[in-house]
């Protein structure tokens, strides 16, 4: 495996962001889900989920304000 692939497998923060983003879409492979369960802690998932949720809401507010102002 390449160096980037090895780094991605070891980096739990990046894996957490990817797992949470995929879960927002509702698309996930069973094998990847099982691998994430073994590597990612529930605290990481909670923190990243809340952060991405706030970012999504802020993006929606910005977009609505932009559309209304135009």
pLDDT, tens digit (0-9, with 9 covering 90-100), for 30-64: 888 888 888 888 888 899 999 999 999 999 999 99
Domain that holds residue 10: 3-69
Distances (CA, A) of 6 to 13, 14, 52: 14, 12, 25
For the cut 60, the answer to whether the pLDDT of residue 8 exceeds it is no
Higher-confidence residue: 28 or 51?
51
pLDDT at residue number 4: 59
Higher-confidence residue: 29 or 8?
29
Q: Which residues contact residue 28 at a Cβ distance below 8 angstroms, ignoring those fewer than 6 apart?
A: 19, 22
For the cut 90, the answer to whether the pLDDT of residue 66 exceeds it is yes
Number of domains in the chain: 1
pLDDT at residue number 29: 81
């Amino acid at each position: 495996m390449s160096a980037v692939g090895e780094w991605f497998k070891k980096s739990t923060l990046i894996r957490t962001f990817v797992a949470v983003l995929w879960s927002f879409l509702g698309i996930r492979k069973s094998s990847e889900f099982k691998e994430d369960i073994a590597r990612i802690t529930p605290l990481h998932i909670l923190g990243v989920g809340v952060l991405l949720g706030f970012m999504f809401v802020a993006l929606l507010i910005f977009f609505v304000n932009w559309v209304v102002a135009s």
